Chain A
Amino acid sequence: MAVTSSDTHFLDIPDVVLTIIFSLVADTRTRNAMSLVCLKWHLLERSTRKSLTLRGNVRDLFLLPTCFRAVTDLDLSLLSPWGHPLLDSFPNPLLLAQFLRHAFPSVVSLTVYVRNPSTLHLLAPQWPDLRHIKLIRWHQRLPTLPLGIEFVALFEHCRMLSSLDVSHFHCWTEDLPPAIQAYPMLAASLSQLNILKHSSVEGFKSHELLAITASCPNLRELLATCIFDHRFVGFVSDETLLALASNCPSLSLLHLVDATSLSNVRPDLNDDGYTSEDASISRSILCDVFAGLPLLEVLVLDVCHNVRDAWPALELLNSKCPRLKSLKLGQFHGICSGVDSRPDGIALCHGLESLSIKNSADLTDNSLEAISLGCPKLSKFEVLGCKKISAKGIRKLTHVLRNTLVDVKISSCKNLNVVSLLQTMEPIRDRIERLHIDCVWKNADNSVKQTASSNGETRLKKKNKSRDNSFCSRTWSKLQHLSLWIAVGDCSGERRPCTGSLGLRYLARYPSLSRMLLDCSGVIGYGLTAPPGYPDLSLWERFFLYGIENLNLNELNYWPAQDMDVNQRSLFLPAAALLAQCGSLRKLFIHGTANEHFMMFLLRIPTLRDVQLREDYYPAPENDMCTEMRAESCRRFEDALKSINRHIPD
């Protein structure tokens, strides 16, 4: 038997090489395991950990570990209690801010929840070399603050900033332009700006956009919400677009999204798929805009108002923006006729790798065919709200693109139902990695699940390794991420959801399903205040969550249903009770509130180690009198979670 003469061990590898190997490992749990092997590995792991999210109660900040000095990307936004002003509860906040700096001297990228300006006044001076910052606030901006004061606090101390993300930061649109204009050197070196505001329904007005872009000529990435409806002051017109292109010619990524697109409501279109108003954008101007942005690689124009006969501009896109790889268009019509199976319009953009078409009223199966022939590199394809396409067209597309497509999303297309959709996925079943479909059962030969009626919707997203389809028996071997939209019907009178439930227990047949995002926030109802004859949300909780204990979930993000009357998204008894039955949960994040009695139910889960209530919707409930926001309740719960009496098996 041959024996290797040199018993080379992993640790004989030179340190330099080991360091590189370690730095390539991204998964946190793996890294934690690596750091336990021996002292050398511990030191190596710590010295190569670049990214860290701090969890834990801010009150314990003095226990902060100081071994992570190599961290360059720090996330402070998830400290408990979530959403509270960061250092306000301390008598000497400056000391703690300095301690943070001492623990993390190399930070160049920061994510932080800014409840009020004091946080920035304390933290910004600690890291003057900051390059990237993401500000988060779901609570309302205090109306008494002077305009732009928070941005000024930031810009004053962090002059090297090149990337600013306020997409989840509630502030007024008027806050940013004056601050940007007050720091021209910083503005001139800004290369990434994300002002696509998810945290409110306001869009930037045209003059604000132009003021910002005029000060930031070197922007390479810009994402912004704006107003395309010409009936509103400050709407985006042809002039705006032209000026924007000329202000920032180096843009490689541009997202312009109408503010109404971000509200979670399904589009309200007339029967033909057109909005009542057209956008004030002419296609010839679009041609000029594209000509002005030759470096464009990613373009999103989610207009929400009709842009008709767009094909000439789109054909030009191919030659004017040769680097374009990813395109999303909302409410563009006439983008591709597909007549005579010849590629035209958007199908001429043969370099596209990702294409998303939303609410295109005249998109037909011929268009889909033309696109599939004209864009052979497409790996990601999305189609939403297109009423004229059918399963035949999708099938053609998946067939032609069967060697490249890995990510498909099909939603709100009324001619499609689940059964036919799944059949259209046949050609790519073995290679598709991410899939979203709407579970619409009408016109389908339904033999599997029944859904009851309610006027809401739920979105169930999950991660999965393999899916054994109940209609056909082949496996989806590469599917990692599956997202389903399930309409739960219509709730009037005394009808209760049927006890069969959402079918969560069917998911038990996928034992490797470990992470789930269950978003029931589309369901609107009444919590405590239901008028007679209206079912309350606690009844619906029983329906949504029944069966969840049969799944082997490690991690769950749950968005409870909403009582919009009182702006409450809360757990009631059935939710707390059913969630507490999920014996394998390690992490649970509830995007809403829960009272202390119900939070304590969760301690029954033996493996639970990380729980947080994150009211990350706008407007986040303000009032500290609300039980769920109380720092004391949070502290008691977290102490109980961490207590040594709880023996966590792993």
Chain B
Amino acid sequence: MGYNLLEALNVQIVGSGDRYLVLAHGLGTDQSVWQRILPLFTPSYRIILYDLVCAGSVNPDYFDFTRYTTLDPYVDDLLNILKSLGVDSCAYVGHSVSAMIGILASIRRPQLFSKLILIGASPRFLNDEDYHGGFEQGEIEKVFSAMEANYEAWVNGFAPLAVGADVPTAVREFSRTLFNMRPDISLFVSRTVFNSDLRGVLGLVRVPCCVIQTARDVSVPASVAEYLRSHLGGRTTVEILRTEGHLPHLTVPALLSQVLRRALSR
């Protein structure tokens, strides 16, 4: 590795309390998305925040293209951080891709996580025969061609200009965050995410889970929340937030905090 993981991924611990809480952000954002949620939990938890290696806020030199080819190295990073901090047990809140990472992490280290809270989560984004993940093949192709156009431009010294608004409306809100990173990293990470399929391992999760979904997140259909509830191995509840959008921690922090508090107390 050759660098200090805690520094590289901007690991911070804030708050005071006897229990640990990990807040893990999704693609295209960084730990600052939690800033409106934080004040409500700092009195009662020691909160651990970090940035994913692909986040725009992390030195892009740390993104090893040979290493981060699947979600497993991201899980390694999370587990290494918790090990370095000496954490034996924590609750975990993960948004979007971090929800996927949390699921995989708890399968590997079942004793480590007391509760998994999954916001805007999906085990697989691409639609399948009987499964509605939210993205049609054609829509994914549009997303990738926008990313590829950016990559081409960037590599050749031109300006990468494709943004979230250039993809089909149905998947726009989710995709918008994908363009908030360097073009080569975005393309690579998007491929990783769209190639991931966690449906087969959901049953291996033993930890209690809470799936939080907004009433209308176009690219994560309501059926996905139900799918998760019925396939996750531990005791799982579903909470639907009466709002729209893929980033409830930014748009409705107060509402989300209420739901989080409830979920953490059970």
Query: What residues of chain A have their CB less than 8 Å away from a CB belonging to chain B?
Result: 496, 528-532, 535-536, 538-539, 542, 549, 565-566, 572-574, 577-578, 580-581, 595-598, 600-601, 604, 623, 625-628, 630, 632-633, 636
User: In the complex the two chains form, is A626's CB within 8 Å of B176's CB?
Assistant: no
Q: A528-B176, A528-B247 are in contact. Are A627 and B57 (CB under 8 A)?
A: yes
User: In the complex the two chains form, is A531's CB within 8 Å of B245's CB?
Assistant: yes
> Is B79 part of the binding interface, using a Cβ–Cβ cutoff of 8 Å?
no
User: In the complex the two chains form, is A625's CB within 8 Å of B35's CB?
Assistant: yes
User: In the complex the two chains form, is B157's CB within 8 Å of A573's CB?
Assistant: no
User: In the complex the two chains form, is B56's CB within 8 Å of A597's CB?
Assistant: yes
- 8 pairs of A and B residues whose beta carbons are closest in the complex: A627-B57, A595-B56, A577-B159, A538-B163, A597-B182, A626-B32, A597-B56, A539-B165
> Is B92 part of the binding interface, using a Cβ–Cβ cutoff of 8 Å?
no
**Residues in A neighbouring B29, C-beta threshold 8 A:** 528
Query: What residues of chain B have their CB less than 8 Å away from a CB belonging to chain A?
Result: 7, 10, 12, 28-32, 34-35, 49, 51, 55-60, 150, 153-154, 157-161, 163-165, 169, 172-173, 176-177, 179-183, 185, 216, 218, 244-245, 247, 250-251
Apart from A549-B159, A595-B180, list 16 A-B contacts with CB within 8 A.
A528-B176, A536-B163, A536-B164, A536-B176, A542-B161, A572-B179, A574-B161, A577-B153, A577-B161, A596-B60, A598-B56, A623-B35, A625-B49, A630-B10, A633-B57, A636-B59
User: In the complex the two chains form, is B176's CB within 8 Å of A577's CB?
Assistant: no
User: In the complex the two chains form, is B165's CB within 8 Å of A536's CB?
Assistant: yes
Q: Is the interface of A mostly helix, strand, loop or mixed?
A: helix
Alpha-carbon separation in the docked complex, A577 to B155 (Å): 12
Alpha-carbon separation in the docked complex, A165 to B41 (Å): 39
Query: Considering only CB atoms, which chain A residue lies closest to B28 in the complex?
Result: A528
Q: A536-B164, A542-B163 are in contact. Are A596 and B247 (CB under 8 A)?
A: no
Query: Considering only CB atoms, which chain A residue lies closest to B161 in the complex?
Result: A574
User: In the complex the two chains form, is A600's CB within 8 Å of B60's CB?
Assistant: yes
User: In the complex the two chains form, is A573's CB within 8 Å of B30's CB?
Assistant: no
**Residues in B neighbouring A625, C-beta threshold 8 A:** 10, 12, 31-32, 34-35, 49
Alpha-carbon separation in the docked complex, A565 to B243 (Å): 15
**Residues in A neighbouring B49, C-beta threshold 8 A:** 625
Give the shortest distance, in Å, between A462 (CB) and chain B (any CB). 21
**Residues in B neighbouring A532, C-beta threshold 8 A:** 169, 172-173, 216, 218, 244
User: In the complex the two chains form, is B59's CB within 8 Å of A581's CB?
Assistant: no
Alpha-carbon separation in the docked complex, A496 to B169 (Å): 13
Alpha-carbon separation in the docked complex, A528 to B165 (Å): 11
Give the shortest distance, in Å, between A544 (CB) and chain B (any CB). 12
Q: A528-B247, A625-B35 are in contact. Are A595 and B179 (CB under 8 A)?
A: no
Q: A625-B35, A627-B32 are in contact. Are A538 and B179 (CB under 8 A)?
A: yes
Alpha-carbon separation in the docked complex, A314 to B56 (Å): 58
**Residues in B neighbouring A595, C-beta threshold 8 A:** 30, 55-57, 180
Alpha-carbon separation in the docked complex, A643 to B98 (Å): 36
User: In the complex the two chains form, is A566's CB within 8 Å of B30's CB?
Assistant: no
Query: Considering only CB atoms, which chain A residue lies closest to B165 in the complex?
Result: A539
Alpha-carbon separation in the docked complex, A33 to B163 (Å): 44
Q: Tell me which of B165, B179, B181, B185 contacts A535 (CB under 8 A).
A: B165
**Residues in B neighbouring A577, C-beta threshold 8 A:** 153-154, 159-161
**Residues in B neighbouring A636, C-beta threshold 8 A:** 59
Alpha-carbon separation in the docked complex, A491 to B247 (Å): 22
User: In the complex the two chains form, is A565's CB within 8 Å of B165's CB?
Assistant: no
Give the shortest distance, in Å, between A8 (CB) and chain B (any CB). 53
Chosen A-B contacts, 25 in total, with CB atoms closer than 8 Å, are A528-B29, A528-B180, A529-B250, A531-B244, A531-B245, A532-B216, A536-B163, A538-B179, A565-B250, A574-B161, A574-B163, A577-B154, A577-B161, A580-B159, A581-B158, A596-B56, A596-B57, A596-B58, A596-B59, A596-B60, A597-B182, A597-B185, A625-B10, A625-B12, A625-B34
**Residues in A neighbouring B164, C-beta threshold 8 A:** 536, 538
User: In the complex the two chains form, is A529's CB within 8 Å of B182's CB?
Assistant: no
**Residues in A neighbouring B159, C-beta threshold 8 A:** 549, 574, 577-578, 580-581
Q: A528-B28, A538-B179, A625-B49 are in contact. Are A565 and B57 (CB under 8 A)?
A: no
**Residues in B neighbouring A539, C-beta threshold 8 A:** 163, 165
**Residues in A neighbouring B185, C-beta threshold 8 A:** 597
**Residues in A neighbouring B177, C-beta threshold 8 A:** 528
User: In the complex the two chains form, is B173's CB within 8 Å of A530's CB?
Assistant: yes
Alpha-carbon separation in the docked complex, A580 to B158 (Å): 9
Give the shortest distance, in Å, between A147 (CB) and chain B (any CB). 25
Give the shortest distance, in Å, between B131 (CB) and chain A (any CB). 24
User: In the complex the two chains form, is B251's CB within 8 Å of A626's CB?
Assistant: no
**Residues in B neighbouring A566, C-beta threshold 8 A:** 250
**Residues in A neighbouring B165, C-beta threshold 8 A:** 496, 535-536, 538-539
User: In the complex the two chains form, is B180's CB within 8 Å of A623's CB?
Assistant: no
Alpha-carbon separation in the docked complex, A578 to B163 (Å): 13
Alpha-carbon separation in the docked complex, A581 to B59 (Å): 22
Residue of A573, A601, A628, A630 with most chain B CB atoms under a 10 A cut-off: A573
**Residues in B neighbouring A496, C-beta threshold 8 A:** 165
User: In the complex the two chains form, is B163's CB within 8 Å of A529's CB?
Assistant: no
Q: A596-B57, A598-B56 are in contact. Are A626 and B163 (CB under 8 A)?
A: no
Alpha-carbon separation in the docked complex, A81 to B218 (Å): 40
